C-alpha cells in the first residue's frame, strides 16, 4: 500500500518507519528541508531504541522516503496520515494551528485525484477535532473527490515505541466509512494476525479513548505520589510496602502505581491540560482531572524542597543520575529534573549531572550545571546523590565505591529503586519517595 505521513516528529517517523518495514511504500513529509535531508541520509533526530536501524534499512531499500513536497505525496498515496504536532497554548489548551494548515493543504491536493483516499488523524487532539478536520478538508475538495476520514490515535510509549507498534495492545479505528475501515484493517493486518486487536468506533469515540487512556494513567501516577507525600507524614510508613499491599488487589493492579518524581514528557501533561481546557470551553469543568496536573507539578517541587531541606552544609555539591523524563529516550519535555535541578541551583547548590542521553539537557541547563561522562564521575566530592531517571545502568550501584568518592552520605532515591538497607549498611542516609529508611532505621 502507498502511504504518506504528514509530519516527521516522534509519532510520524515511528509510524512511517514501521509501516515501511512491513513492505508498504511510505513518504514522510516535513516543511523543514534540513531535517528532510538529514532523514534521507538515515539519520534520525530523536532517540528511540531500535528505530534508527529500521529507518536506515527502509531508506536503503526504497520503502521509506522523505520530502517537502506534500502535493506529490498526497496524490500518490492511498492513505494520508496527519501526524503534525499539537503543542500546548499558554492556557493549556491544544494548539491546532499546524493541524488545520496540514488539513487545508491535504484538501487542496486531493482535487483531481480519482482513486479512493483515506485521511487519517494520528495526532493527539482535543475532543471534537474530527469535525474540524472534516470541515476544513470539505471546504477545499471538489464534489468528485472520493475520500473518507479516520481517527487512529497512536498508542506508543517513548522508549518502547517499536515494540508497542509491532505488538499493539489495541488498534483503535474511528470512522463512519465502511470502505475506509476495510482499508485500515488491511493496512494493520500484519500487526493483527495472531490476535484481533482492532476496535472500531466513531471518530469522536477514538479521540476520547486516547484522551481517557492518558488521563487515567496520569491520574494513577498523581494519586500514588500524593499517597507517598501522605506516607512521609506518618512515622513508620513505607510507601513501597503500602503500594504492594494495595496493588495485589486485582481491581487495582501494579501498572503506573509506583512513586516517582512525577510524570513528564509530551503526552500526559499536554493531554490532561488540553482535555480539561476543551471541556471548559464547552461549559463543563472536570472536577477530578482539573487537579491531576496541579498535583503532579506540586509533587516535583515538594521533592525539590525535601532535598534542599536535608542539604544543611554550606554551598553543597550534588550529583544527579538521570535527567530525561523517563529512560530510553532523550526527551526532556516536562521532565521532573528541570524544576528540581533549577530549584537547587537557585538555592546555591552546585550540580553535576550524568545521563546516557544528555544532549537536550545540555541545551536546557547550559553551563549552570556540570555534565559528567560517566556515572561515578558525577559523584566525585559530592555531598549527596539524587536518582531522578531509572536508566538500567543505575539499578545496581556499588555503594562502597560511592561512599569512597562522595564527601557526604545523603542518597535521594526518587524512583525507589534501591534497597535502603544496602545503602545504610555502608553509612549512607537513604531517602526515598514516601519511605522512612534514613540512617539508623533498618527495619
Helices and strands (H, E) in the chain, number of each type: 16, 14
Q: 220: how many CB neighbours lie within 10 A of its CB? A: 18
* pLDDT > 60? residue 312: yes
Three-state DSSP class for 119? strand
The pLDDT of residue 168 is 96
Residues 207-251: tens digit of each pLDDT: 999 999 999 999 999 999 999 999 999 999 999 999 999 999 999
For residue 120, pLDDT beyond 90: yes
Pick from 300, 380, 284: nearest CA to 341: 300
Task: Give the largest CA-CA distance in the chain.
Answer: 78
What's the confidence (pLDDT) of residue 443? 47
Residue 437 has pLDDT above 80, yes or no: no
Measured in degrees and rounded to the nearest 5, phi and psi for residue 111 equal -65, 135
| Cα distances (Å, whole numbers) of residue 165 to 14, 57, 226, 309 | 8, 17, 32, 44
Residue 179 has pLDDT above 90, yes or no: yes
What SS3 string covers 236-266? CCEHHHHHHHHHCCCCCCCCCCCCCCCCCCC
Across 276-300, b (16+ Cβ under 10 Å) vs e yields bbbbeeeeeeeeebeebbebbbbbb
Q: Is 132 helix (H, G, I), strand (E, B) or coil?
A: helix
Q: What is the signed CA dihedral for 172, 173, 174, 176, rounded to 10 degrees?
A: -150
pLDDT, tens digit, for every residue of 343-377?
999 999 999 999 999 999 999 999 999 999 999 99
267 is catalytic: yes
pLDDT at 143: 86
The band of 336, judged by pLDDT with boundaries at 50, 70 and 90, is very high
- What is the average per-residue pLDDT within 182-206? 97
Q: Distance between CA 83 and CA 432 in Å, rounded?
A: 39
pTM for the full model? 0.93
Instruction: State the Cα–Cα distance between residues 90 and 402, nearest whole angstrom.
Output: 43
Residues 6 or more apart in contact with residue 407 via CB below 8 angstroms: 317, 381, 382, 383
What would the mean pLDDT of 298-303 be, rounded to a whole number?
96
Mean pLDDT score across all residues of the chain: 95
Report the DSSP beta bridge partners of residue 173: 200
pLDDT of residue 438: 66
Catalytic-labelled residue, pool 28, 40, 247, 267: 267
d(CA 41, CA 34): 11
Domains along the chain?
A: 2-201 (3.40.50.720), 217-431 (3.40.50.720)
Helices (H), 282-358: 289-310, 337-346
In the Cβ-directed half-sphere of 24, how many Cα atoms lie within 13 Å? 26
Instruction: Give the pLDDT score at 442.
Output: 47
Amino acid at each position: 500500500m502507498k502511504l504518506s505521513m504528514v509530519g516527521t516528529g516522534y509519532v510520524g517517523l515511528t509510524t512511517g518507519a514501521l509501516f515501511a518495514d512491513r513492505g508498504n511504500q511510505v513518504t514522510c513529509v516535513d516543511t523543514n528541508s534540513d531535517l528532510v535531508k538529514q532523514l534521507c541520509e538515515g539519520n534520525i533526530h530523536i532517540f528511540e531504541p531500535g528505530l534508527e536501524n529500521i529507518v536506515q534499512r527502509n531508506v536503503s531499500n526504497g520503502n521509506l522516503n522523505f520530502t517537502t513536497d506534500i502535493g506529490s505525496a498526497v496524490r500518490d498515496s492511498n492513505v494520508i496520515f496527519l501526524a503534525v504536532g499539537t503543542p500546548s497554548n499558554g492556557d493549556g489548551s491544544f494548539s491546532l494551528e499546524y493541524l488545520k494548515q496540514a488539513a487545508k493543504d491535504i484538501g487542496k491536493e486531493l482535487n483531481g485525484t480519482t482513486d479512493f483516499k483515506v485521511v487519517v488523524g494520528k495526532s493527539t487532539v482535543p475532543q471534537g477535532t474530527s469535525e474540524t478536520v472534516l470541515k476544513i478538508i470539505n471546504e477545499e475538495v471538489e464534489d468528485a473527490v472520493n475520500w473518507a476520514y479516520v481517527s487512529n490515535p497512536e498508542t506508543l510509549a517513548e522508549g518502547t515505541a517499536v515494540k508497542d507498534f509491532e505488538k499493539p495492545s489495541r488498534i483503535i479505528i474511528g470512522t463512519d466509512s465502511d470502505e475506509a475501515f476495510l482499508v485500515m484493517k488491511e493496512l494493520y493486518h500484519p500487526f493483527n494476525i495472531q490476535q484481533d486487536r482492532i476496535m472500531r468506533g466513531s471518530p469522536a469515540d477514538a479521540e476520547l479513548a486516547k484522551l481517557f487512556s492518558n488521563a487515567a494513567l496520569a491520574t494513577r501516577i498523581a494519586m500514588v505520589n500524593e499517597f507517598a507525600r501522605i506516607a512521609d507524614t506518618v512515622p513508620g510508613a513505607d510507601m513501597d510496602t503500602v503500594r504492594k499491599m494495595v496493588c495485589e488487589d486485582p481491581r487495582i493492579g501494579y501498572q503506573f502505581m509506583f512513586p516517582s518524581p512525577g510524570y513528564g514528557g509530551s503526552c500526559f501533561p499536554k493531554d490532561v491540560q488540553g482535555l480539561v481546557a476543551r471541556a471548559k470551553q464547552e461549559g463543563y469543568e472536570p472536577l477530578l482531572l482539573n487537579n491531576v496536573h496541579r498535583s503532579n507539578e506540586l509533587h516535583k517541587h515538594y521533592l525539590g524542597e525535601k532535598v534542599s531541606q536535608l542539604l544543611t552544609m554550606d554551598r553543597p555539591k550534588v550529583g544527579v543520575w538521570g535527567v530525561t523524563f523517563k529512560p530510553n529516550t532523550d526527551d526532556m519535555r516536562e521532565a521532573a529534573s528541570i524544576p528540581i535541578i533549577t530549584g537547587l541551583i537557585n538555592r546555591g547548590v552546585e550540580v553535576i549531572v550524568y545521563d546516557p542521553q544528555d544532549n537536550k539537557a545540555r541545551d536546557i541547563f547550559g553551563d549552570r550545571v556540570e555534565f559528567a561522562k560517566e556515572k561515578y564521575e558525577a559523584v566525585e566530592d559530592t555531598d549527596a546523590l539524587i536518582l531522578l531517571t531509572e536508566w538500567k545502568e543505575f539499578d545496581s550501584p556499588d555503594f562502597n565505591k560511592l561512599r569512597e568518592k562522595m564527601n557526604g552520605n545523603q542518597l535521594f532515591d526518587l524512583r525507589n529503586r534501591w534497597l535502603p538497607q544496602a545503602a545504610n549498611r555502608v553509612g549512607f542516609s537513604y531517602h526515598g519517595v514516601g519511605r522512612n529508611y534514613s540512617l539508623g532505621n533498618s527495619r
